[in-house]
Amino acid sequence: MTADISPVGPGECHVWSAEAHWTPGLLDLLDDDERERCAQFRVEGARALYLTAHVLARQVVGAQLSLDPREVVVVPVCKHCTGPGDRPHGKPTLPGTSLELSLSHSGQRVMVALTAAGPVGVDVEEIAEGRDLPLDVLSVPERAELELLAPEERPAAFIRYWARKEAVLKATGDGLMVEPSALTVTGPGAPARLLEWRERPEPHLPVRLEDLDAGAGYRAAVAVVGDDDRVDVVHHPLVRVG
């Protein structure tokens, strides 16, 4: 990585971004399971996204713990699957540390979030034009607000909603086992906030939710579960992994 990796201070959530690229030599930085998963992608672009995201995660975590990226232990944990035969999957965890990790990729963009302030989720999404929008993932208030927009504004606005919801669901570890329509977030023109989680009380609230600048053609957000007034989000400029 060409840029310095800043230390993550107390009460901070740092987010790093990168453009995906395929460099086979970086496979050496992954563990056996990650290499196996990477090899399963048939399209080079998908392999590049996976490789870049997981190498970036290992580099930023290693920098915090003074470890070689190869020495970083990342254990996926799914709160919904506990069977002994299940292949490890789910939210990435860093056992033996106080750090919380999340990673996301879409299009050509990768994001990694790291914090000790609480469970974290980051999501980046490419804006897809010309596709039907799956409006059933929106709550009633969100759909009403979306319908007030001009048709050409709706794809980007929908992705703004989706990135915010996905970030929250990643942070709590629920993922898509929870209907996204159960969550209501602020409208795409307003600062990001989780307004309601239908039938879900605290401790999953409050959530610190913030939009991220993912560049043209993308929308992104990061969520940290905990005291939403005490988390400072630091979003670093685009870096190159390698």
Domain range enclosing 176: 12-235
Classify residue 188: in a domain, yes or no. yes
Classify residue 6: in a domain, yes or no. no
What is the distance between the alpha carbons of residues 38 and 45, in angstroms, rounded to a whole number?
Answer: 11
pLDDT, residue 153, reads 95
pLDDT, residue 2, reads 39
pLDDT, residue 82, reads 56
pTM: 0.92
Domains: count for the chain = 1
CA distances from 239 to 24, 56, 138 (A): 18, 9, 33
> Which ranges of the chain have pLDDT less than 50?
1-3
Classify residue 179: in a domain, yes or no. yes
Dihedral angle of Cα 156, 170, 67, 35, to the nearest 10 degrees: -80
> For the domain that residue 51 is a member of, what is the CATH number?
3.90.470.20
pLDDT tens digit string along 15-71?
Answer: 999 999 999 999 999 999 999 999 999 999 999 999 999 999 999 999 999 999 999
pLDDT, residue 205, reads 63
Counting Cβ atoms within 10 Å, is residue 91 exposed (0-12), middle (13-18) or buried (19+)?
buried
Complete DSSP assignment for 210-232: EEE---TTEEEEEEEES-TTS-E
